Amino acid sequence: MRIGPHELPNRLFVAPMAGVTDRPFRQLCKRLGAGHAVSEMVTSRADLRDSLKTSRRLNHDGESAPIAVQIAGTDAEMMAEAARYNIDRGAQIIDINMGCPAKKVCNKWAGSALMQDEALALDIVAAVVEASAPHGVPVTLKMRTGWCQQARNAVTIARGAEARGVAMVTVHGRTREQGYSGRAEYETIAAVKAALSIPVCANGDIDRPEKARDVLAATGADAIMIGRAAQGRPWIFQEIAHFLATGEHAAPPATLQVREWLLEHLEDHYGLYGELAGVRTARKHIGWAVHALPGGEDFRRRMNRIETTAEQSRAVHDFLGELAGAHPLWPEAAPLPAEPVDALAA
């Protein structure tokens, strides 16, 4: 699997998620089997580049190549300048956000709102590709199937993006109108794949190995992108890779191994965010990891009252150590009901 000049180790990608896929989380996912990870969305507005939030989102210290940065905006020249700015600071792939359904993004006509204006969307693509090409940096595009059920124009925009030089297209199988409700559909992704000669990545509701296999088969996609299912379970990439290679499920990781992963992630997280912000922003990552465990909800409520990184880390260490005594292997969550094969193509 290649994106421009970059050979990726596999076709299992981490979806860019605001407030989630910061550098420590991306590094963790790559360590646990993800072949590619894209940064949180970074605004194209130059006046916000010096903000603490943006500086953290642009932190790539120690991150393995290729470094991919997602940019968002509504002005072609500002987006081109944002591409150049991030390339100067280490970006090796630029990803254009036309997939975010958040109201605060779409109300400014950025993210998936751009799909309502095909001409502007493609002007932005052309400008970003033109700005990135002299540096040898490929441009990718992430989008939805369309703005609403009646306007699923992903194929049209994808064709236009390929014609303007985009190296890969990722499609989330929902419209902007859906947000994250309902179920993703894969028929549109299959149509995009059939229409293009560049790689296509499928995204949406891929939460277990069998679903990964079925989505790849239903869409013909070159890769899959996993978002919410990796929250609290970043080793899902290892699980899927093993299943795709062998047709069998991997054994659950040892509980003490998961503890080691989580504690190392916390230390990296604290290093990026500092004491006060670190302890508070780490709560969601810990909560995702423990919520389905025996005693997990009680622990999460207690942990959310902790106000120091040292105490928080120690609490996680002790809770998972006790859990390992009763459950040497990580307890499996209740299995999700299997979807019929025809639902994947609907």
> Is residue 102 over pLDDT 70?
no
Write down the pLDDT at residue 179: 72
Is 252 annotated to bind ligand?
Answer: no
> Is residue 149 over pLDDT 50?
yes
Residues 304-308: what's their mean pLDDT? 96
Q: Is the peptide bond before 66 cis (omega within 30 degrees of 0)?
A: yes
**pLDDT tens profile 160-179:** 999 999 999 999 998 877 77
Is 331 annotated to bind ligand?
Answer: no
Which residue, 126, 224, 132, 106, is CA-closest to 173? 224
Is 301 annotated to bind ligand?
Answer: no
Is 16 annotated to bind ligand?
Answer: yes
pLDDT greater at residue 64 or residue 161: 161
**pLDDT tens profile 8-55:** 999 999 999 988 999 999 999 999 999 999 998 888 877 677 677 777
Give 306-315 contacts, CB < 8 A, sequence gap 24+: 306/279, 307/279, 308/275, 308/279, 309/266, 309/270, 309/275, 309/278, 309/279, 309/282, 312/266, 312/279, 312/282, 312/283, 312/286, 313/263, 313/266, 313/267, 313/270
Which residue, 97, 73, 85, 102, is CA-closest to 49? 85
106 catalytic? Reply is no
Residues 222-240: what's their mean pLDDT? 97
Is 153 annotated to bind ligand?
Answer: no
Write down the pLDDT at residue 58: 75
Q: Where are the domains of the chain?
A: 2-246, 255-326
Write down the pLDDT at residue 334: 47
Write down the pLDDT at residue 95: 97
Contacts of 320 (CB under 8 A, 6+ apart): 255, 256, 258, 259, 262
> Is residue 121 over pLDDT 60?
yes
> Is residue 343 over pLDDT 70?
no
Write down the pLDDT at residue 209: 97
**What CATH number labels 2-246?**
3.20.20.70
What is the pTM (predicted TM-score) of this model?
Answer: 0.89
Mean predicted lDDT score pLDDT of the chain: 90
Is 17 annotated to bind ligand?
Answer: yes
Is 70 annotated to bind ligand?
Answer: yes
Work out whether strand 6-7 and strand 2-3 pair parallel, antiparallel, or are unpaired: antiparallel
Catalytic residue among 29, 100, 106, 201: 100
